[in-house]
Chains A and B, each alone.
Chain A
Amino acid sequence: MAFYDGAVLKCVHAALQLWTFLWTWFYLWGWKPLLSKVKGQKATLSRCKEDRKSLQKLPCHLGLLVAEQKISYGDVCSLMVWSMALGISYISVYDWHGTLKKNAVLVKSHLDRLQEEIFGKDKSKYTFQLHQSSSKKHSSNEGAQVHILLLSPSDGRLDLVRTAGDYCHAVANRILKPEDISTDLVNSMLHSTKGFPDPDVLVRFGQIESLLGYLPWQIRLTEILSMPTHWGVGYESFLDVLHQFAGTHQRFGK
Chain B
Amino acid sequence: MTTTVDSEWFPEEKYRVQKTWLQSFCTRVLKTGPVPKHIAFIMDGNRRFAKKESVEKAEGHRRGFDKMAEMLQWCLDFDIKEVTVYAFSTENFKRSKEEVDGLMELARQKFARLLQEKEQLMKHGVCIRVLGDLHLLPRDVQEVVAEAMYFSRNNTNAILNVCLAYTSRNEITNAMKEMAIGVDEGLLRPSDVSEELLEKCLYTSHSPDPDLLLRTSGEVRLSDFLLWQSNYSVLSFIEVLWPEFTTWHLYSAILHYQSNYASIAAAREANKHEQAERQQRSDLTCAVREMETRREQSHETSSSVNVQTHVQKYTQERQARVTKFLAHLEGKRAEYITSLLPETSNREIPIAKLIPTC
A interface residues (Cβ-Cβ under 8 A, vs B):
6, 9-10, 12-13, 16-17, 20-21, 24, 96, 153, 156-158, 160-161, 163-165, 167-169, 171-172, 176-179, 181-183, 186, 207-214, 216-217, 219-225, 248, 250, 252-254
Alpha-carbon separation in the docked complex, A248 to B160 (Å): 32
Q: Does B173 contact A (CB under 8 A)?
A: yes
Q: Does B176 contact A (CB under 8 A)?
A: yes
Contact A171 B173, beta carbon cutoff 8 Å:
no
Q: Which residues of B have CB within 8 Å of A16?
A: 29, 255
Contacts A160-B228, A178-B181, A210-B234; A169 near B190 (Cβ below 8 A): yes
Contacts A165-B190, A182-B173, A209-B236; A157 near B32 (Cβ below 8 A): no
Q: Does B232 contact A (CB under 8 A)?
A: yes
Closest chain-A Cβ to B134's Cβ sits at a distance in Å of 18
Contacts A172-B183, A178-B177, A186-B173; A17 near B259 (Cβ below 8 A): yes
Give the nearest-CB partner of A12 in chain B. Answer: B29
Contact A164 B193, beta carbon cutoff 8 Å:
yes
Closest chain-A Cβ to B97's Cβ sits at a distance in Å of 12
Give the nearest-CB partner of A178 in chain B. Answer: B180
Contact A220 B33, beta carbon cutoff 8 Å:
no
B interface residues (Cβ-Cβ under 8 A, vs A):
28-33, 89, 91-92, 94-95, 168-170, 172-173, 175-177, 179-181, 183-184, 188-191, 193-195, 198, 220-224, 227-228, 230-237, 255-256, 258-260, 263-264, 267, 271
Contacts A222-B221, A253-B223; A161 near B198 (Cβ below 8 A): yes
Contacts A165-B191, A186-B176, A219-B227; A10 near B32 (Cβ below 8 A): yes
Contact B221 A210, beta carbon cutoff 8 Å:
no
Closest chain-A Cβ to B290's Cβ sits at a distance in Å of 15
Residue of A6, A172, A214 near B231 (CB, 8 A) is A214
Contact A253 B29, beta carbon cutoff 8 Å:
no
Q: Which residues of B have CB within 8 Å of A181?
A: 173, 176-177, 180
Contact B180 A212, beta carbon cutoff 8 Å:
no
Contact B176 A163, beta carbon cutoff 8 Å:
yes
Question: What are 9 A-B contacts defined by CB distance under 8 Å?
Answer: A17-B33, A20-B256, A163-B176, A168-B176, A178-B184, A209-B236, A220-B222, A224-B220, A253-B95
Alpha-carbon separation in the docked complex, A248 to B221 (Å): 11
Give the nearest-CB partner of A5 in chain B. Answer: B28
Q: Which residues of A have CB within 8 Å of B180?
A: 167-168, 171, 176, 178, 181
Residue of A12, A165, A223, A254 near B94 (CB, 8 A) is A254
Closest chain-B Cβ to A216's Cβ sits at a distance in Å of 4
Alpha-carbon separation in the docked complex, A176 to B184 (Å): 10
Q: Which residues of A have CB within 8 Å of B223?
A: 220-221, 253
Apart from A171-B183, A223-B220, what are 20 other A-B pairs with CB-CB below 8 Å? A9-B28, A9-B29, A20-B256, A160-B172, A161-B195, A164-B175, A164-B179, A165-B190, A168-B193, A171-B190, A172-B183, A178-B181, A208-B260, A209-B234, A209-B260, A216-B228, A216-B230, A221-B224, A224-B220, A254-B91
Closest chain-A Cβ to B42's Cβ sits at a distance in Å of 12
Q: Which residues of A have CB within 8 Å of B33?
A: 13, 17
Closest chain-B Cβ to A96's Cβ sits at a distance in Å of 7
Most buried by B among A186, A220, A225: A220
Residue of A156, A172, A209 near B190 (CB, 8 A) is A172
Give the nearest-CB partner of B192 in chain A. Answer: A168
Q: Which residues of A have CB within 8 Å of B89?
A: 253
Contact B169 A217, beta carbon cutoff 8 Å:
yes
Give the nearest-CB partner of B28 in chain A. Answer: A9
Closest chain-B Cβ to A18's Cβ sits at a distance in Å of 10
Alpha-carbon separation in the docked complex, A208 to B175 (Å): 30
